[in-house]
């Protein structure tokens, strides 16, 4: 499915699209744009922590943390099509491993490696059982992770500090750098988070990403092509758990405190809401999801805290109704709407590319934007 | 021994609550092929309606009946105006819709009535009666009996009435059902309504015990889903048996297995699930499904 849309999309859109979009894409093709834009972005990110206020930096860092968590969820759900309600558990697990390691005085590199490994192994074990049942079983099993996780964290108080939680301060700006702590934290989040995003970007565009897309599209087709849906579901879930663990490490970098509440059921649902609203199956959508996760509660809490859940539910349903690709597909949807209104009268056949059919909405559109962006 | 019997009876009563929710989930799944994660949330909303009515001085039984009627309408309206659009599409998207619905319903309850625990009056007295020399609580027996009656009534509706026959036809093959002149869309609304009614009965019966909060049935939903997995999505009887099994086992494990205790008993069904999934992936009573490509 992925390869067919790749070849057919340019062929179908080329004759129907007017001059403006094609000049835009050739603008994007120019070498100085192709190399300059990422460098500009990189430079912007490098300067960013230096210019903002402390609370602005803190908000940005928290966005980074949850963008990584949403990215992990995207690997299993957006790209592989397996609904997971347990992603927050792996964030919480990563945060606890980090806090325990730091309090025990272990080397921070070792702590980071364990923060990747332990959630990945936990995710592997869960997936090995859950992926045996087809369809929605992963959703039905993973919903238990936060619900079992919270009392488990309270019970294992020797490791987790019980209901009080654990705090660990281990990120301080190095001497002589002249940075404040919040700036240094933001740099750490940007670097580690950036690496995770880059690796995931290559993963989902490569061999494994195509296998994930086929498993998502049709499991029977996948197995007839020699791609075991079971194995790739387990793989995707394990990677998602690993990324969740990394986001837990970053969570401790920024928040420096974790408690059983970190992995509550409500937060798990919020993470899923953020992912869908940002854009399922999209790298940029994951960042937008992180922004949504952090910023919207801040705004609604300022208006009326009891409205937060209501607004999130209403927003999610609204997005699913009008913009199934999430916020990341908004510019594309607007462009299509603009293009269609004058052209609709002239030509009899509406200029619909294959990607604009509702069936392939969530899956195909964001991946195509990314392809165009880099091709 | 007396304690053991009490634990089993109490377990059967909580198991019945899970069974009602699980049966509602199976009902919706067989009709529309999706898992409704908002089933518990909708039941909580119904319980709040009953609670508001009792506060207005309406007798409890009438309030619960009114909330049941409200649930039926709520289920039908949600099917028509929300789920209809996603039913024939990608099942994962439909599941996300129900999760959005859960968030929305919980949010509405929290916004209207707050997140504090509210006392819900019990339908049964808090006494105990002596059965074969063992004293067991009236509430547990009453809860179990009412839910069993509700489930039998639903089963009778499906097996013994023309409406039930039509509902089953829609569940088996909506297209053929439409060709033979059945109003498929209206029947789907009825199916959602009946599922919501089952949830509302469970919610009203368990609310005195759990005290009313917007997230009251989140845990029960998890148990119900566990029962659905264990029993197999295709087997209503299996789901009910699995729910009772879970209710009894978690009660026993909480008391007799030191490490589990009352706070971790929610882990019991998932330990069961892990064992069952490894041994029998289609569930205890489910059939293996074969898909034609």
Determine the Cα angle at A272 with ends A353 and A145, to 5°.
Answer: 140
Work out how many domains chain A is built from and give that number.
1
Q: Under an 8 A CB cutoff, do B95 and A136 touch?
A: yes
Task: Tell me the ipTM for this assembly.
Answer: 0.85
CB of B67 less than 8 A from some CB of A: no
Using a 10 angstrom Cβ sphere, with 0-12 exposed, 13-18 middle and 19 or more buried, the burial of residue A176 is: exposed
Binding-face residues of A in 14-73 toward B, CB within 8 A: none
How many C-beta neighbours within 10 Å does residue A370 have?
Answer: 19
Using DSSP's 3-state secondary structure scheme, residue A321 falls into helix
Binding-face residues of B in 196-215 toward A, CB within 8 A: 214-215
Half-sphere exposure of B183 (CA within 13 A, CB side): 7
Which residue of B78, B87, B90, B229 to mutate against A (max A Cβ within 10 Å)?
Answer: B90
Q: Under an 8 A CB cutoff, do A273 and B99 touch?
A: yes
Residue B162 dihedral angles phi and psi, to the nearest 5°: -65, -40
For the CA atoms of A278, A281, A284, A288, the dihedral, rounded to the nearest 10 degrees, stands at: 10
Alpha carbons B21 and B42: distance in angstroms, whole number: 11
Strand partners, B118: B212
Query: How far lies B158's CA from each of A195, B25, B119, B155, B186, in Å?
Result: 56, 16, 35, 5, 16
CATH number for the domain including A293? 1.10.3470
Closest CA of chain A from B66, distance in Å: 25
Q: Under an 8 A CB cutoff, do A269 and B99 touch?
A: yes
Using DSSP's 3-state secondary structure scheme, residue A348 falls into coil
Closest CA of chain A from B131, distance in Å: 35
Alpha carbons A340 and A360: distance in angstroms, whole number: 19
Q: Do β-strands B128-131 and A257-258 pair in parallel, antiparallel, or remain unpaired?
A: unpaired
Closest CA of chain A from B59, distance in Å: 30
Is residue A25 a part of any domain in this protein?
Answer: no
Top mean-pLDDT range of A231-245, B119-133, B163-177, B226-240: A231-245
CB of A81 less than 8 A from some CB of B: yes
CB of A9 less than 8 A from some CB of B: no
- The answer to whether residues A126 and A143 touch, using CB atoms and an 8 Å cutoff, is no
Strand partners, A166: A258
Q: Give the pLDDT mean for B182-201.
A: 92
Q: How confident is the model at residue B289 (pLDDT cuts 50, 70, 90)?
A: low
Query: How far lies A24's CA from each of A32, A187, A283, A350, A372, in Å?
Result: 14, 33, 21, 22, 11
Half-sphere exposure of A269 (CA within 13 A, CB side): 27
Question: What is the per-residue pLDDT for B284?
Answer: 60
Query: How far lies B241's CA from each of A224, A236, A265, B249, B272, in Å?
Result: 37, 34, 27, 12, 14
CB of A225 less than 8 A from some CB of B: no
Q: Report the candidate in B121, B138, B91 with the shortest Cα–Cα distance to residue B208.
A: B121
Q: Report the candidate in B2, B1, B21, B4 with the shortest Cα–Cα distance to residue B220.
A: B21
Q: Report the candidate in B36, B20, B17 with the shortest Cα–Cα distance to residue B78.
A: B36
Q: Can you read off the two tokens belonging to residue A344?
A: 């609709």
Binding-face residues of B in 75-94 toward A, CB within 8 A: 82, 85-86, 89-93
**Residue B229 with chain A: CB contacts under 8 Å:** 133, 137, 140-141
> If you measure CA to CA, which chain A residue comes closest to B228?
A140
The secondary structure of B102-155 as a DSSP string is HHHHHHHHHHHH-SS-B----SS-S-EEEETTEEEEHHHHHHHHHHHHHHHHHH
Question: What is the per-residue pLDDT for B48?
Answer: 95
Q: Is the dihedral of CA B40, B42, B46, B51 positive or negative?
A: positive
Alpha carbons A154 and A166: distance in angstroms, whole number: 11
Give B33 or A365, the one with higher predicted confidence. B33
The pLDDT tens digits of the residues spanning B245-268 come to: 999 998 888 888 777 777 788 888
CB of B103 less than 8 A from some CB of A: yes
- The answer to whether residues A9 and A368 touch, using CB atoms and an 8 Å cutoff, is yes
Binding-face residues of B in 249-288 toward A, CB within 8 A: 261, 263-264, 266-267, 269-270, 273-274, 277-278, 281-282
* pLDDT-flagged residues of chain A (< 70): 1-29, 134-135, 341-375
- What does the longest C-alpha to C-alpha distance in chain B come to? 60
Q: How many contacts does A have with B, using Cβ atoms within 8 A?
A: 138
Q: Provide CB contacts within 8 A for B39, sequence distance 6+.
A: B21, B24, B25, B28, B195, B196, B199, B221, B224
Q: Under an 8 A CB cutoff, do A358 and B89 touch?
A: yes
Alpha carbons A372 and A329: distance in angstroms, whole number: 13
Q: Can you read off the two tokens belonging to residue B216?
A: 């009251």
Using a 10 angstrom Cβ sphere, with 0-12 exposed, 13-18 middle and 19 or more buried, the burial of residue A358 is: exposed
Is residue A26 a part of any domain in this protein?
Answer: no
Binding-face residues of B in 27-46 toward A, CB within 8 A: 34-35, 37
Question: What is the per-residue pLDDT for B175?
Answer: 86
Alpha carbons B233 and A68: distance in angstroms, whole number: 34
Binding-face residues of A in 115-174 toward B, CB within 8 A: 129-130, 132-133, 135-137, 139-141, 143-144, 147-148, 151-152, 154-155
**Residue B270 with chain A: CB contacts under 8 Å:** 141, 144, 148
Q: Under an 8 A CB cutoff, do A143 and B85 touch?
A: no
**Residue B102 with chain A: CB contacts under 8 Å:** 269, 313
Q: Can you read off the two tokens belonging to residue A138?
A: 């992963």
Closest CA of chain A from B130, distance in Å: 35
């Amino acid at each position: 499915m992925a390869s067919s849309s790749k070849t057919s999309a340019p062929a179908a859109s080329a004759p129907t699209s007017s001059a403006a979009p094609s000049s835009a894409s050739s603008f994007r093709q120019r070498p100085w744009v192709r190399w300059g834009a990422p460098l500009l972005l990189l430079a912007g990110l490098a300067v960013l922590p230096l210019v903002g206020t402390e609370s602005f930096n803190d908000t940005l860092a928290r966005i980074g943390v949850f963008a990584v968590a949403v990215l992990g969820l995207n690997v299993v759900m957006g790209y592989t099509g397996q609904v997971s309600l347990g992603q927050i558990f792996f964030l919480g697990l990563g945060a606890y491993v980090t806090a325990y390691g730091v309090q025990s005085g272990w080397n921070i590199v070792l702590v980071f490696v364990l923060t990747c490994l332990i959630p990945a192994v936990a995710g592997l074990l869960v997936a090995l059982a859950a992926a045996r049942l087809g369809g929605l079983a992963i959703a039905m099993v993973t919903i238990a992770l936060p619900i079992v996780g919270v009392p488990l964290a309270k019970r294992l108080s020797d490791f987790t500090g019980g209901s009080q939680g654990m705090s660990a301060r281990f990120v301080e700006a190095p001497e002589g750098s002249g940075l404040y702590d919040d700036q240094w934290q933001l740099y750490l989040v940007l670097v580690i988070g950036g690496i995770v995003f880059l690796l995931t970007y290559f993963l989902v565009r490569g061999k494994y990403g195509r296998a994930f897309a086929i498993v998502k599209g049709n499991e029977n087709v996948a197995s007839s092509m020699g791609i075991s849906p079971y194995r790739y579901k387990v793989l995707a879930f394990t990677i998602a758990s690993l990324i969740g663990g990394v986001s837990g490490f970053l969570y401790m970098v920024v928040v420096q405190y974790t408690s059983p509440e970190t992995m509550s059921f409500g937060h798990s649902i919020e993470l899923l809401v953020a992912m869908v609203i940002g854009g399922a199956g999209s790298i940029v959508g994951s960042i937008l999801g992180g922004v949504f996760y952090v910023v919207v509660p801040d705004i609604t809490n300022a208006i009326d805290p009891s409205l937060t859940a209501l607004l999130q539910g209403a927003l999610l349903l609204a997005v699913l109704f009008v913009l199934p690709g999430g916020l990341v597909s908004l510019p594309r949807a607007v462009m299509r709407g603009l293009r269609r209104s004058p052209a609709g009268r002239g030509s009899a056949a509406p200029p619909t590319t294959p990607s604009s059919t509702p069936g392939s909405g969530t899956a195909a559109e964001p991946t195509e934007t990314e392809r165009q962006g880099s091709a | 021994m007396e304690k053991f019997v009490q634990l089993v009876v109490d377990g059967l009563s909580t198991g019945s609550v899970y069974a009602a929710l699980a049966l509602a989930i199976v009902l919706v799944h067989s009709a529309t092929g999706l898992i409704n994660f908002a089933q518990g949330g909708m039941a909580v909303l119904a319980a709040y309606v009953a609670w508001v009515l009792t506060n207005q001085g309406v007798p409890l039984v009438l309030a619960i009946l009114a909330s049941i009627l409200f649930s039926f309408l709520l289920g039908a309206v949600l099917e028509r105006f929300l789920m209809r659009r996603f039913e024939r599409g990608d099942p994962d998207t439909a599941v996300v819709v129900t999760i959005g619905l859960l968030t929305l319903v919980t949010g509405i309850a929290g916004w209207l009535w707050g997140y504090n625990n509210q006392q819900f009056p019990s339908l049964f007295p808090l006494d105990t009666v002596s059965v074969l020399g063992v004293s067991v609580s009236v509430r547990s027996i009453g809860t179990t009996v009412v839910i069993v009656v509700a489930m039998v009534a639903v089963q009778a509706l499906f097996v013994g009435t023309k409406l039930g026959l039509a509902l089953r036809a829609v569940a088996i093959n909506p297209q053929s059902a439409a060709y033979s002149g059945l109003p498929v869309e209206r029947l789907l609304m009825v199916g959602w309504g009946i599922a919501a009614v089952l949830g509302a009965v469970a919610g009203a019966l368990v609310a005195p015990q759990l005290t009313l909060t917007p997230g009251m049935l989140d845990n029960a939903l998890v148990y119900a889903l566990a029962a659905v997995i264990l029993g197999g999505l295709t087997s209503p009887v299996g789901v009910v048996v699995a729910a009772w099994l879970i209710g009894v086992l978690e009660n026993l494990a909480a008391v007799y297995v030191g490490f589990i205790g009352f706070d971790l008993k929610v882990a019991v069904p998932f330990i069961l699930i892990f064992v069952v999934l490894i041994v029998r992936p289609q569930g205890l009573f489910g059939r293996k499904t074969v898909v034609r490509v």
